[in-house]
Each structure stands twice: as C-alpha cells, then as structure tokens.
C-alpha cells in the first residue's frame, strides 16, 4: 500500500535525537531555541515561539490577542477541528464563511457580510498548503480594525506574492508527524511583534520570564528538545522536501484524467501538504477502487466543522453550500516526498481507471 503520508526520516533525525538523549537535557532548551531561530528565518519573521502543538499555538495566539468571551472570529468550516476548537476554548464564537471552489480556502468576497461590532479577528486557514488570498484579507482586516491569525498548520514554507505565510498576521504552524516539516508533535507561532512574542513565551510556560517568578497566569504548552531535534533536521531540508512534493504534484496534474485536479494560483507557492482531487458522484466506490489498487487515500475532511454535532448545537444552522459540496467530493492522494516513480505511476493508473 502506498501510504497517504509518511514522515521523511533520515539518519540525521535519528542521531539528533540520540544526541539530545546523551546530553541528558531533554526539556525545552537549546534545540528548541535553534528550531525557533531556523523557523523564523524560513518565515522571514522576527520571532518564532515553539509550542506543544498547533492547537495550543492557536489557543495561545488567540489569548495573546485578547480574544475571549463575547468576541467573534471569522474562519472557515472546511478545515481540521482545531481551527475552531481553539476559538471556542477562549469563549469566543466562530463565524463561518464559505470557501472558494478553486483553492478550498476562505472566500474573501464573503467576509465583509459577516463582520459585526463583535468581530475581533479573521482566522484564514491555508488549507492543503495553498496560501489564502492574503492581499484581500489584510485589506479587509485593516479597513475594519481586525486582527489576522493565520492557521498555517499545513503550509510551512508556502508563499503569497513571494512573502512566506505566517508573516502577514500572526502565524501558527503544526509540526505534527504528518506535516511537511514535523517533529512528531509540536507547534510554532510566528510574529514580528516583540511584545506579543514575549507574552506568548510567558503564556507558554507558567507566566515566567525568570524561573519560579510567575508574573501572570500561564500554562505548560512547551515542546521538548527531543521533539525540537527532529524539527531542526527537518527544517534544514525544507527546500528539498518541498521540491519533491511540488514535482510529485506536477506529475499527477499532468497525468491524471477523469477527475478534477487541484490548482495553484499563479501568485502563490503551494507546498502541497495534501494533493486533493475531486470526484463528484460515487466517491466511496472510487476510494474502494484506489485501495484495491494499493493506493492509500485520505478525506480531509469528511464532515465540515459546522456540521459536527457539538458545533452545530453551538452555532445553529449555517448555510455553506460550497463547503458542503466539496466535503462530499474530495479525495487526497499520496504526494509525500518518499514516493518513487513507480508509486506515482501506480497512483496515475489507479485514478485513471476509476
Ligand atoms: C488546519 C489545521 N489547523 C490546526 C491543526 C492543529 O495542529 P496540531 O495537530 O499540531 O495540534 C492542524 C493539524 O492537524 C491543521 O491541519
């Protein structure tokens, strides 16, 4: 079976972890600082703050932006639950906007219609590694005095008009095991704002700047140097890993027939966290055929966030026709850097004979 995702692990990751183990210093320390520095360089931001996950990164970012009870945050429903659950944990209310059919991302044309006096932030999700239309989103945010928190969990290294995502608003990334750059578990927040970065570092670790002097209420949302050691080796190879994904996606785009293939807008550098085709009609049968042909698949995501039971109870009925239709059509295919030419040919043959 060709797996839908596969972490790209080399001897470098293995020896980096062993080095940390041998050092006896396992908790957040030098390796985490190195990962933060390298991550900030990739995102071209002044700061990167490592967290225990993308989810805790989103939550801390919302808190540090002062978002809470009585506030509204505009986002999409065609995403992983954490884009919304992090908003709910602050006490704020998610307000869903439909997506663009072409990119699966928030449709900026529909944002202004849902802005109210309670709206505090826009939380666009760069889904599958394709950047959102940041020019339009930033212009709307500026016009209405809103903050922008980019859910860039799937999009490390992606660029919009030459500028890395995570540098438009405050960026939040995931380093979960299947992500383009991973550390097993982990997250990263990027910002140019010195004060915000300091606030995030304190929220992340018990409100401390100096050990055991607690200046504010804080959590333990730290990562460890064991995880960071993996992340450092991964981010050193980001260009190579991304290039492989791009080549795999280009090959599939060139050879697949009879399905709707994904596109990258000319103004973006897509990093292909997922390669997602659309199969209107009998998706289940198509998936069965792909599995019988040895091709692993994923559905990201079968139930849009606003249709999840507990969310529906909280936000009521919302009409998001594009989201609902695409949730029934999408199938993600393997695009990860470990695919061989033979794997790509197997995928093409299986898809073209659906
Ligand atoms: C779009 C999106 N947002 C947030 C997250 C949460 O990241 P994590 O799994 O690291 O908590 C993920 C990761 O799966 C994601 O895909």
Q: Which of 179, 209, 244, 307 is catalytic?
A: 179
45 lines ligand 1 (CB under 6 A): no
221 lines ligand 1 (CB under 6 A): no
How far is 94 from 116, CA to CA, in rounded Å? 12
Helices (DSSP H) in the chain: which residue ranges? 11-23, 30-43, 54-64, 82-90, 134-144, 194-204, 225-236, 238-255, 283-292, 309-315, 321-327, 341-352
Which residue's alpha carbon is at the smallest distance from atom 14 of ligand 1?
80
| Whole-structure pTM value | 0.98
351 lines ligand 1 (CB under 6 A): no
53 lines ligand 1 (CB under 6 A): yes
Q: Which atom of ligand 1 is nearest to the CA of 174?
A: 10
What pLDDT is recorded for position 324?
98
What pLDDT is recorded for position 53?
98
176 lines ligand 1 (CB under 6 A): yes
* Test site for ligand 1: of 131, 154, 155, 230, most ligand atoms within 8 A of the Cβ: 154
What pLDDT is recorded for position 19?
98
Reported as a single tens digit per residue, the pLDDT across 217-266 is 999 999 999 999 999 999 999 999 999 999 999 999 999 999 999 999 99
Interval between CA 25 and ligand 1 midpoint (Å): 28
The three-state secondary structure class of 338 is coil
Q: Which residues contact 160 (CB under 8 A, 6 or more apart)?
A: 131, 132, 133, 134, 135, 168, 267, 268
Reported as a single tens digit per residue, the pLDDT across 291-339 is 999 999 999 999 999 999 999 999 999 999 999 999 999 999 999 999 9
55 lines ligand 1 (CB under 6 A): yes
**Rounded percentage of the chain residues whose pLDDT exceeds 90:** 100
Say if residue 60 is preceded by a cis peptide, omega within 30 of 0: no
Is 209 among the catalytic positions? no
With contact defined as beta carbons under 8 Å apart, do 57 and 104 qualify? no
With contact defined as beta carbons under 8 Å apart, do 22 and 192 qualify? no
How far is 75 from 315, CA to CA, in rounded Å? 13
With contact defined as beta carbons under 8 Å apart, do 95 and 318 qualify? no
* Test site for ligand 1: of 75, 82, 130, 185, most ligand atoms within 8 A of the Cβ: 82
What pLDDT is recorded for position 336?
98
Which residue's alpha carbon is at the smallest distance from atom 7 of ligand 1?
54
Reported as a single tens digit per residue, the pLDDT across 62-98 is 999 999 999 999 999 999 999 999 999 999 999 999 9
Reported as a single tens digit per residue, the pLDDT across 166-187 is 999 999 999 999 999 999 999 9
How far is 338 from 353, CA to CA, in rounded Å? 24
How far is 287 from 332, CA to CA, in rounded Å? 10
What pLDDT is recorded for position 211?
94
């Amino acid at each position: 079976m060709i797996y839908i995702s596969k972490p790209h692990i080399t001897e470098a990751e293995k020896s980096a972890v062993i080095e940390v183990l041998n050092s006896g210093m396992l908790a957040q320390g030098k390796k985490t600082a190195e990962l933060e520095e390298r991550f900030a360089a990739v995102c071209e931001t002044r700061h990167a703050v490592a967290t225990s996950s993308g989810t805790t990164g989103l939550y801390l970012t919302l808190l540090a932006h002062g978002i809470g009870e009585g506030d509204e945050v505009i986002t999409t429903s065609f995403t992983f639950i954490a884009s919304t659950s992090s908003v709910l944990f602050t006490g704020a209310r998610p307000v869903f906007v439909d997506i663009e059919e072409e990119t699966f991302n928030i449709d900026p044309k529909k944002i202004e219609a849902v802005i109210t006096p309670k709206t505090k932030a826009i939380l666009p999700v760069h889904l599958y590694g394709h950047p959102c239309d940041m020019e339009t989103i930033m212009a709307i945010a500026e016009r209405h005095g809103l903050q922008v928190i980019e859910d860039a969990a799937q999009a490390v290294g992606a660029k919009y008009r030459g500028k890395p995502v995570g540098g438009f608003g405050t960026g939040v990334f995931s380093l979960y095991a299947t992500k383009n750059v991973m550390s097993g578990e982990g997250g990263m927040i990027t910002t140019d704002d010195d004060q915000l970065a300091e606030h995030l570092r304190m929220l992340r670790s018990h409100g401390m700047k100096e050990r055991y002097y607690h200046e504010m209420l804080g959590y333990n949302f730290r990562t460890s140097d064991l995880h960071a050691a993996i992340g450092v080796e991964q981010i050193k190879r980001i260009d190579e890993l991304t290039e492989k994904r791009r080549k795999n996606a280009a090959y599939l785009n060139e050879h697949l027939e009879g399905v709707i293939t994904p596109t990258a807008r000319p103004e973006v550098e897509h990093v292909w966290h997922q390669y997602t085709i659309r199969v209107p009609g009998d998706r289940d049968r198509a998936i069965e055929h792909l599995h019988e042909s040895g091709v692993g698949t994923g559905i990201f995501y079968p139930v849009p966030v606003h249709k999840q039971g507990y969310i529906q109870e909280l936000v009521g009925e919302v009409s998001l026709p594009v989201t609902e239709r695409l949730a029934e059509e999408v199938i993600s295919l393997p695009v990860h850097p470990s695919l061989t030419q033979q794997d790509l040919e197997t995928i093409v043959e299986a898809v073209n004979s659906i």
